[in-house]
């Protein structure tokens, strides 16, 4: 079924052609229709890359790129769709082919590095990032540079890249959360707490940052709930996380109290919390 936009364009094109008094050749008519098809295809490509089902998007771009092997944009669409479908290994292969083609761009190398990180191929990702010109100063490039530096425990470089990346986007919640988790793994719990709180100022609904925030506070033996937005199910889950963290640190009685609060708070039966509480009481 054609989109309403496509039908409107077709009607407009037909009116223009008929208004030329028969002077328009068949070739011109075909070119006009082809240009409309390009607009319609572009809209469909955008839909597939954003809101379409990942599996359907992969099938669509596989078919389209096979039928049009010279279209680099369709290959990029296939690679992006494979990432959305959690098929990073295949995506890395497609991005490699794109990078090695005459039409490959620095941004394609950034996307290849992202796919390599998703497959846990850190050395390859680092090597790919090293081939990108320093003039490419994008959020995605610095986000990946920070992750690679993290993997090598080069904390100074990681902090520098995280800071640059956060300054290059209006939605830094994700990179701030990653930076906070990096600080948490290093034992800088106070620094991690600050970054998780900052991440939540940009995206109050980000549960991962909320859970990480509770872990950072628990590592400092702060067992009271932070003052942040949370639903009742989220509160129960965060109490559960806090309770387990307390037990792990040897504060068993505090942990039991928090687990009981998680059970009492949850609007539905909280099996994991009940099981942990029973194990402690036994």
Contacts of 201 (CB under 8 A, 6+ apart): none
Residue 3 pLDDT > 60: no
Residue ending a domain, among 100, 119, 138, is 119
Average pLDDT over residues 238-257: 96
pLDDT digits (tens, 9 = 90+) for 45-96: 777 777 668 899 899 999 999 999 999 999 999 999 999 999 999 999 999 9
Q: How many domains would you assign to the chain?
A: 2
| pLDDT recorded at residue 46 | 73
Please check whether residue 27 lies inside any domain of the structure: no
- pLDDT value of residue 23: 47
Task: Give me the sign of the Cα torsion angle 122, 72, 77, 139.
Answer: positive
Q: Per-residue confidence at 254, pLDDT binned at 50, 70, 90?
A: very high
Residue finishing a domain among 74, 97, 119: 119
pLDDT score at 20: 45
Task: Say whether pLDDT at 229 is over 90.
Answer: yes
Of the two residues 151 and 2, the one the predictor is more confident about is 151
* Average per-residue pLDDT for the chain: 87
Place of tokens 């989220």: 234
Residue 136 in any domain: the answer is no
For the question of whether the overall pTM of this predicted structure is more than 0.95, the answer is: no
Buried residues in 54-63 as b, exposed as e (16+ CB within 10 A) = beebbebbbe
pLDDT band at 226 (very low <50, low <70, confident <90, very high): very high
Is 28 domain-assigned?
A: no
Whether the CB-CB separation of 95 and 125 falls below 8 Å is answered with no
Torsion sign, CA atoms 13, 18, 22, 23: negative
How far apart are alpha carbons 59 and 45 in whole angstroms? 12
pLDDT for 33 beyond 70: no
> Does any domain span residue 195?
no
Q: Is residue 162 part of a domain?
A: no
pLDDT for position 22: 46
pLDDT value at position 53?
83
In a domain, 92, yes or no: yes
pLDDT at 47 (0 to 100): 74
Residue 164 pLDDT level (bands cut at 50, 70, 90): very high
pLDDT digits (tens, 9 = 90+) for 179-191: 999 999 999 999 9
- Which of 76, 92, 119 lies at the terminal end of a domain, its last residue? 119
Tell me, what CATH number does 71's domain have? 1.25.40
Grouping H, G, I as helix, E, B as strand and the rest as coil, residue 218 is: helix
pLDDT, tens digit (0-9, with 9 covering 90-100), for 119-157: 999 999 999 999 999 999 999 999 999 999 999 999 999
Residue 237 sits in which domain range?
A: 232-282
- Per-residue H/E/C for 28-55: HHHHHHHHHHHHHHHHHHHHHHHCCCHH
User: pLDDT band at residue 26, thresholds of 50, 70 and 90?
Assistant: low
- The reply to whether 56 falls in a domain is yes
**pLDDT value at position 172?**
97
Percentage of the chain beyond pLDDT 90 is 79
């Amino acid at each position: 079924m054609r989109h309403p936009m496509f039908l409107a364009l077709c009607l407009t094109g037909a009116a223009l052609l008929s208004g030329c008094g028969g002077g328009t050749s068949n070739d011109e008519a075909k070119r006009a229709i082809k240009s409309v098809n390009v607009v319609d295809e572009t809209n469909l490509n955008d839909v597939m890359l954003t809101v379409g089902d990942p599996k359907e998007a992969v099938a669509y771009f596989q078919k389209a790129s096979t039928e049009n092997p010279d279209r680099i944009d369709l290959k990029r669409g296939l690679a992006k769709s494979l990432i959305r479908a959690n098929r990073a290994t295949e995506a890395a292969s497609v991005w490699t082919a794109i990078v090695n083609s005459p039409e490959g761009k620095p941004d394609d190398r950034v996307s290849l590095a992202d796919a390599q990180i998703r497959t846990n191929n850190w050395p390859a990702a680092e090597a790919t990032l090293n081939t990108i010109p320093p003039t490419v100063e994008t959020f995605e490039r610095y986000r990946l540079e920070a992750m690679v530096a993290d993997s090598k425990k080069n904390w100074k470089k990681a902090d520098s890249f995280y800071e640059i990346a956060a300054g290059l986007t209006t939605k830094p919640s994700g990179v701030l959360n990653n930076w906070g988790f990096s600080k948490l793994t290093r034992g800088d719990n106070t620094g991690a707490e600050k970054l998780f709180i900052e991440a939540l100022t940009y995206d109050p609904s980000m549960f991962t940052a909320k859970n990480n925030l509770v872990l950072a506070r628990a590592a400092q033996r702060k067992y009271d709930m932070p003052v942040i937005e949370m639903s009742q199910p989220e509160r129960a889950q965060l109490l559960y996380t806090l309770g387990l963290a307390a037990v792990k640190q040897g504060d068993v009685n505090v942990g039991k109290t928090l687990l009981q609060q998680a059970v009492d708070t949850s609007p539905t039966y909280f099996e994991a919390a009940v099981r942990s509480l029973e194990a402690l009481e036994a």
